[in-house]
Amino acid sequence: MISLLLLASPLLIHAAGHSTREESNSEALRFLEEVVRADFNGDAFPRIGHVYDELQLLAKGDVKGPSFEVYLLDSDPLVVVDQWEFVGIQTKASLTCGQYRFRIVAETIGSGLPSWITAESRHIRALQPPKRETVAYCLRFDGAKWMLVDPPIPRVGLPHILDAMKDSTARSEKIRSEVKHASPRAILNIQRVADSLREQLSVLESL
């Protein structure tokens, strides 16, 4: 009896280890789908408190890229998509990476809204024809929760960024129409913001 138990124990340990990995991957995929789906809907909430920026930690001086833990639909770097699908999962070292394929219809160039200091701002470039791209979202479990490691630029669904840009443009136009007594510099800045938002909205509406 003892010998049979000894022979069976490695099999039980292997089965338990396999089950644990499957459960871990299942939990990781549930969180990843929540993030990807929320990004598509223009909602950064699932990312908040779940982003770990190794690239930022490795950066020297003040040269750091955006963390994409939170983002604004009218001014931050984004990729505009109209489809997404899960492709597969990979594990490497301490990371669990989900692969997702997107159909990209537009990309942003630059970031921010113009100010009186500079007229530069984010622009949107339509892709004709659209292109498909597979992107990896990698997770690490820190003992308490899943963390996104160096997450990619958010992939936001066309209908949702379009709605957000319509709202931002309408607010900007309202401000411009109501400003009567302001300095020339302030009026110029308001006009630049309104023009930038209207330009981006025009590109999105053409898709």
- SS3 state of residue 138: strand
188 is a domain residue: no
The pairing of strands 146-149 and 51-52 is parallel
Helix ranges, the chain (H):
2-40, 54-58, 158-178, 184-205
CATH of the domain at 6: 3.10.450
Q: Percent of the chain having pLDDT more than 70?
A: 82
- Name the range with the highest mean pLDDT among 10-14, 46-50, 110-114, 159-163: 159-163
**What is the model's pLDDT at position 52?**
73
109 is a domain residue: yes
- Name the range with the highest mean pLDDT among 4-8, 11-15, 59-63, 87-91: 87-91
Q: Which two structure tokens, joined as six digits, stand for 141?
A: 């479990």
12 is a domain residue: yes
Q: Does residue 68 surpass a pLDDT of 80?
A: no
Answer with the residue of higher pLDDT: 87 or 48.
Answer: 87
* Beta strands, E only, 110-196: 123-141, 146-149, 155-157
* Beta strands, E only, 74-200: 79-92, 95-109, 123-141, 146-149, 155-157
Alpha-carbon dihedral sign for residues 111, 115, 117, 121: positive
Residue range of the domain that includes 129: 2-157
pLDDT, tens digit, for every residue of 20-46?
556 677 898 999 999 999 999 999 888
**What is the model's pLDDT at position 75?**
93
Q: In whole angstroms, give the CA distance from residue 171 to residue 91.
A: 45
**What is the model's pLDDT at position 101?**
98
Q: Does residue 1 surpass a pLDDT of 70?
A: no
117 is a domain residue: yes
Name the domain count of the chain: 1
Query: Band of the pLDDT at 119, cuts 50, 70, 90?
Result: confident
201 is a domain residue: no
**What is the model's pLDDT at position 60?**
45
